[in-house]
């Protein structure tokens, strides 16, 4: 990751649900995992129906074959050798064909015979079986009586065909029964697994989804293009010994399209897609999860090039031993997963995609090189993205001419793809209930109201909140732009990300191991720029700056105690060690200095922070027009990139103040 997100307007931590970590259960998640647990009742019914159908088909085939066999011989009488001999003597045999011990013939005039069962039959075609050693005088007799006779080789094709035709129905029946029973015993195994028949046998799937079906997540798409290329022509990559992407972790809030993207990668590369959800691995007997992982990987390897997709990987991949009631099954499954990830042959073109909305708790072992060492962030869409998603999902919905998708996209900040798909669905249902020919703008507006009221958390921030966030982030960005010694601002957004309601991104110019005092001071000013903008532009301050203030305090304290940047205290290190950029609270370690020194340290930290804050306020007040423009632009576009920022700076005449911060 080259972009470093530092300053964010924070969600009030007292709000119970972390924004984005929970979603309303009002059906907006539908279709995310494709098929939940199967209802055992219906599948049992289906299975019995299959058995019955198979038996009927088998019986029918049997009948057909045996009948057709019989019908060719239906009017042929079976007669004893003696009767035959008699008929020859009586000059009544017209012709005769020998085939092995069998002989069939035609009589001149029909006769009536009684068979062993007492049935009578009349006809002129007959069959009899010759005597075991043949009859040496028969040929002479036949010639004498002028019977037309011939012979066929004993092992005739007909015989083989007959045998096959007789046996085939049985083979079919036995084969079907075998398959049915094997399936039945398989599912039984799952029924016995504590009744949790969540068995979704890993099936090969070839999704027709493409990147065109996914919108508003262009960065993630760009990151995945390489994976598609690799799967399309693995030889090309392997020939040069290049490192192939093995594991890619898709990270993002629920409903942003992670599953959809994974399927689109498979669709784009037209390779088979093997998917399983993390929770499916865990909720079964010990050892079953691990063997499912093995199955999954075995199948995918056989079908290489292919994709394995593990949804909700946090269900298996949580840090081991982090909870007291450790879950053996989960750990076994996780270990198996690690083994499988390592066990790939370099020639096997199998890419493992995984999705999660909680990447922090993942076991570090999963993220090591060769495993899930690539991370693709799937962000909430900004309004352009939302518009594109609305367009995709309304493609097959007849829209009335008054529908303005742009205004709907504008009115739904914070909503993700699944929310928007749900919105369109609700609007279409509403239109159907009202017997309309097309979905109207009113349908959309009413559905949106309904969804917003039904949602557990506010899906959409109020106008006033958005205004504060826009000014806050604008303040971070502008203070960054106006100072020389800071990293360039790459992007500002008021689209929520994780805990943050807005983010300003900076790209460090190079890896820094040394921070100059100027750099650190500029950092303090930018970090306080958010809070300062609230004061300058809105007149009151909010709780959104908590994270900023923690960072500021940590940096200022380090400047004083570690780096000797306070003239009053001089160049002395007061051994307090922590990462100045982690923003963590200060450790209460043992101190090596007096109470008096401690008080001076506090005063100095205070002084530095105050100075930085007043500088931030000064900068923003001096460039109020620019600040207003940035905030307005943020409200309009939600995301503003470096180029747009630069344009605003030039247009408002602020550019001259900070020539060096542009590169
Ligand atoms: P996730 O896996 O991130 O929770 P899903 O991929 O399951 O989200 O998304 C659920 C549904 O929402 C998708 O099937 C799709 O209809 C819709 N959706 C979500 N994100 C997008 C997007 N970026 N573009 C188009 N549709 C989307
Ligand atoms: Zn902030
Ligand atoms: Mg999903």
**CATH 3.40.605.10 holds for 75-154:** no
Q: Give span(s): CATH 3.30.720.210, the chain.
A: 75-154
Quote the percentage of the chain above a pLDDT of 90: 27
Q: How far is the CA of 215 from the centre of ligand 3 (A)?
A: 15
Average confidence score pLDDT of the chain: 79
Question: Mind listing the pLDDT tens digit for each residue in 88-147?
Answer: 888 888 888 888 788 888 888 888 887 666 778 888 888 888 887 777 788 888 888 888
Range with top average pLDDT, 11-25, 170-184, 543-557:
543-557
Q: Give span(s): CATH 3.40.50.300, the chain.
A: 200-377
Q: Starting from the CA of residue 258, give the closest ligand.
A: 1
DSSP one-letter code for 318: B
Structure tokens at 515: 């921070």
Range with top average pLDDT, 22-36, 107-121, 544-558, 625-639:
625-639
Nearest-atom index, ligand 1, CA of 355: 2
Place of tokens 């959809």: 260
Rounded distance between C-alpha atoms, residue 36 and residue 31, angstroms: 9
Question: Mind listing the pLDDT tens digit for each residue in 526-538?
Answer: 999 999 999 999 8
Rounded distance between C-alpha atoms, residue 430 and residue 417, angstroms: 20
578 is catalytic: no
Give the pLDDT of residue 36: 37
What would the mean pLDDT of 488-512 be, rounded to a whole number?
75
| Ligand 1 near 533 CB (within 6 A) | no
Helix (H) or strand (E) holding 517: helix 517-533
Question: Mind listing the pLDDT tens digit for each residue in 549-589?
Answer: 888 998 898 888 888 787 777 766 665 544 445 444 444 45
Question: Mind listing the pLDDT tens digit for each residue in 130-142?
Answer: 887 777 788 888 8
Strand order in the sheet with 76-78: 76-78, 120-129, 102-114, 93-99, 148-152
Helices (H), 193-287: 218-232, 234-239, 258-269, 278-282
Confidence of residue 592 (pLDDT cuts 50, 70, 90): low
| Ligand 1 near 389 CB (within 6 A) | yes
Burial (CB count <10 Å: 0-12, 13-18, 19+), residue 559: buried
Q: Are 348 and 303 in contact (CB under 8 A)?
A: no
Rounded distance between C-alpha atoms, residue 408 and residue 412, angstroms: 6
Confidence of residue 624 (pLDDT cuts 50, 70, 90): very high
Rounded distance between C-alpha atoms, residue 196 and residue 209, angstroms: 31
pLDDT(38) > 50: no
| Ligand 1 near 256 CB (within 6 A) | yes
Q: Which residue has better confidence, 457 or 28?
A: 457
Structure tokens at 284: 């079964």
- Displacement of CA 434 from its chain's centroid (Å): 36
CATH placement of domain 5-18+457-581+592-657 = 1.20.58.760
| Ligand 1 near 332 CB (within 6 A) | no
CA-closest residue to ligand 1 atom 17 = 418
Confidence of residue 506 (pLDDT cuts 50, 70, 90): confident
Catalytic residue among 473, 576, 604, 638: 473
Rounded distance between C-alpha atoms, residue 49 and residue 43, angstroms: 10
Cα–Cα nearest to 528, from 494, 509, 510, 555: 555
Q: Which residue has better confidence, 44 or 438?
A: 438
What would the mean pLDDT of 314-327 be, rounded to a whole number?
66
Q: Are 96 and 105 in contact (CB under 8 A)?
A: yes
Question: Class assignment of domain 383-452?
Answer: mainly alpha
Helix (H) or strand (E) holding 378: none
| Ligand 1 near 385 CB (within 6 A) | no
Cα–Cα nearest to 250, from 357, 113, 391, 361: 357
Question: Class assignment of domain 200-377?
Answer: alpha beta
Give the pLDDT of residue 91: 87
CA-closest residue to ligand 1 atom 5 = 257
Backbone φ, ψ for residue 580 (5° rounding) = -65, -20
Q: How far is the CA of 213 from the centre of ligand 3 (A)?
A: 15
500-506/350-356 β-pairing: unpaired
| Alpha carbon separation from 171 to 53, 163, 166, 496, 560 (Å, rounded) | 16, 12, 10, 63, 88
Give the pLDDT of residue 242: 67
Residues 6+ apart with CB under 8 A from 572: 564
Q: Which of 120-129, 298-307, 482-491, 570-579 has the lowest mean pLDDT?
A: 570-579
pLDDT(287) > 80: no
Give the pLDDT of residue 324: 52
pLDDT(622) > 90: yes
Range with top average pLDDT, 5-14, 19-28, 530-539:
530-539
Give the pLDDT of residue 196: 35
Structure tokens at 438: 């097309």
Give the pLDDT of residue 250: 95
| Ligand 1 near 32 CB (within 6 A) | yes
Q: Which residue has better confidence, 71 or 539?
A: 539
Q: Give span(s): CATH 1.20.58.760, the chain.
A: 5-18+457-581+592-657
What would the mean pLDDT of 17-21 be, rounded to a whole number?
36
Beta bridge partners of 4: 506
Q: Which residue has better confidence, 134 or 523?
A: 523
Phi/psi region, residue 186 (left: phi>0; alpha: psi -120 to 50; beta: rest), is alpha
Cα–Cα nearest to 495, from 389, 393, 634: 634
273-277/306-311 β-pairing: parallel
What would the mean pLDDT of 488-502 be, rounded to a whole number?
79
Q: Starting from the CA of residue 395, give the closest ligand.
A: 1
Question: Mind listing the pLDDT tens digit for each residue in 321-375?
Answer: 555 555 677 788 888 889 988 888 777 889 999 999 888 888 888 888 888 989 9
Q: Give span(s): CATH 1.10.8.60, the chain.
A: 383-452
Question: Mind listing the pLDDT tens digit for each residue in 208-233?
Answer: 899 999 999 998 999 999 899 989 88
Confidence of residue 410 (pLDDT cuts 50, 70, 90): confident
Rg of the chain over Cα atoms, rounded to whole angstroms, equals 41
Cut 0.85: pTM above it: no
Give the pLDDT of residue 620: 95
Confidence of residue 32 (pLDDT cuts 50, 70, 90): very low
pLDDT(23) > 70: no
Give the pLDDT of residue 458: 60
Give the pLDDT of residue 427: 94
What would the mean pLDDT of 260-276 be, rounded to a whole number?
93
| Ligand 1 near 418 CB (within 6 A) | yes
Out of 213, 273, 409, 421, give the residue to mutate to test ligand 1, the one with the largest number of ligand atoms within 8 Å of its CB: 421
pLDDT(65) > 60: yes
Rounded distance between C-alpha atoms, residue 387 and residue 401, angstroms: 17
Question: Mind listing the pLDDT tens digit for each residue in 423-478?
Answer: 999 999 999 999 999 999 999 998 988 887 776 666 677 888 889 999 999 999 99
Rounded distance between C-alpha atoms, residue 437 and residue 468, angstroms: 42
Give the pLDDT of residue 225: 92
């Amino acid at each position: 990751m080259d972009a470093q997100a530092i300053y964010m307007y924070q969600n009030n931590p007292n709000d119970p649900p972390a924004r984005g970590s929970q979603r309303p259960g009002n059906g907006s998640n539908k279709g995310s995992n494709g098929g939940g647990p199967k209802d055992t009742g219906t599948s049992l019914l289906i299975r019995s129906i299959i058995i019955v159908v198979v038996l009927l088909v088998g019986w029918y085939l049997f009948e057909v074959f045996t009948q057709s066999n019989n019908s060719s011989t239906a009017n042929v009488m079976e007669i004893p050798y003696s009767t035959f001999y008699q008929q020859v003597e009586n000059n009544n045999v017209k012709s005769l064909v020998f085939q092995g011990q069998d002989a069939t013939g035609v009589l001149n005039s029909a006769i009536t015979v009684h068979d062993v069962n007492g049935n009578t039959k009349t006809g002129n075609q007959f069959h009899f079986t010759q005597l075991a050693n043949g009859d040496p005088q028969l040929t002479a007799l036949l010639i004498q009586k002028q019977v037309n006779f011939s012979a066929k080789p004993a092992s005739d094709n007909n015989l083989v065909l007959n045998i096959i035709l007789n046996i085939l129905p049985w083979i079919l029946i036995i084969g079907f029964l075998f398959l049915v029973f094997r399936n039945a015993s398989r599912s039984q195994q799952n029924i016995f697994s504590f009744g949790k028949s969540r068995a979704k046998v890993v099936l090969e799937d070839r999704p027709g989804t493409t990147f065109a079906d996914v919108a508003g997540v262009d960065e993630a798409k760009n990151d995945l293009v390489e994976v598609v290329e690799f799967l399309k022509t693995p030889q090309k990559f392997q020939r040069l010994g290049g490192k192939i992407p093995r594991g890619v972790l898709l990270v993002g809030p629920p409903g942003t399209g992670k599953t959809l993207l994974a399927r689109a990668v498979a669709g784009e590369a037209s390779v088979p897609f093997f998917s399983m959800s993390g929770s499916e691995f865990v909720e079964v007997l010990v050892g079953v999860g691990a063997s499912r992982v093995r199955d999954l990987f075995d199948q995918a390897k056989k079908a290489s090039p292919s994709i394995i997709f593990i949804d909700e990987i946090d269900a298996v991949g949580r840090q081991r031993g982090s909870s007291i009631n450790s879950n053996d099954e989960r750990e076994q499954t996780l270990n198996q997963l690690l083994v499988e990830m390592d066990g790939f042959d370099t020639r096997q073109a199998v890419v493992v995609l995984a999705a999660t909305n909680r990447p922090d708790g993942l076991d570090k072992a999963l993220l090591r090189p060769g495993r899930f060492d690539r991370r693709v962030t799937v962000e909430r869409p900004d309004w352009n993205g939302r518009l594109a998603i609305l367009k995709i999902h309304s493609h097959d919905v007849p829209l009335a001419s008054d529908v303005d998708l742009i205004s709907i996209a504008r009115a739904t900040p914070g909503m993700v793809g699944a929310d928007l798909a749900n919105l369109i669905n609700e609007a279409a249902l509403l239109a159907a209930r009202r017997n309309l020919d097309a979905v109207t703008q009113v349908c959309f507006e009413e559905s949106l109201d309904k969804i917003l009221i039904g949602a557990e958390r506010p899906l959409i921030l109020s106008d006033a909140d958005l205004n504060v966030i826009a000014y806050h982030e604008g303040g971070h960005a502008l203070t960054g732009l106006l100072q020389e010694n800071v990293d360039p601002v790459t992007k500002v957004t008021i689209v929520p990300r994780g805990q943050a309601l807005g983010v300003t991104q900076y790209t460090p110019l190079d890896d820094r191991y040394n921070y100059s005092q100027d750099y650190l001071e500029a950092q303090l000013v930018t970090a306080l720029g958010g809070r300062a903008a609230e004061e300058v532009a809105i007149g009151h301050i909010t709780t959104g700056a908590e994270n900023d203030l923690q960072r500021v305090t940590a940096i200022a304290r380090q400047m004083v105690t570690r780096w000797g940047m306070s003239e009053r205290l001089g160049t002395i290190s007061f051994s307090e060690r922590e990462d100045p950029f982690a923003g963590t609270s200060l450790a209460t370690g043992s101190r090596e200095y007096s109470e008096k020194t401690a008080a001076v340290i506090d005063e100095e930290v205070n002084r530095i922070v105050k100075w930085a804050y007043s500088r931030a306020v000064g900068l923003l007040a001096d460039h109020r027009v620019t600040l207003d423009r940035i905030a307005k632009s943020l409200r309009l576009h939600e995301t503003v990139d470096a180029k747009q920022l630069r344009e605003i700076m030039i247009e408002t005449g602020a550019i001259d103040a900070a020539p060096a911060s542009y590169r």
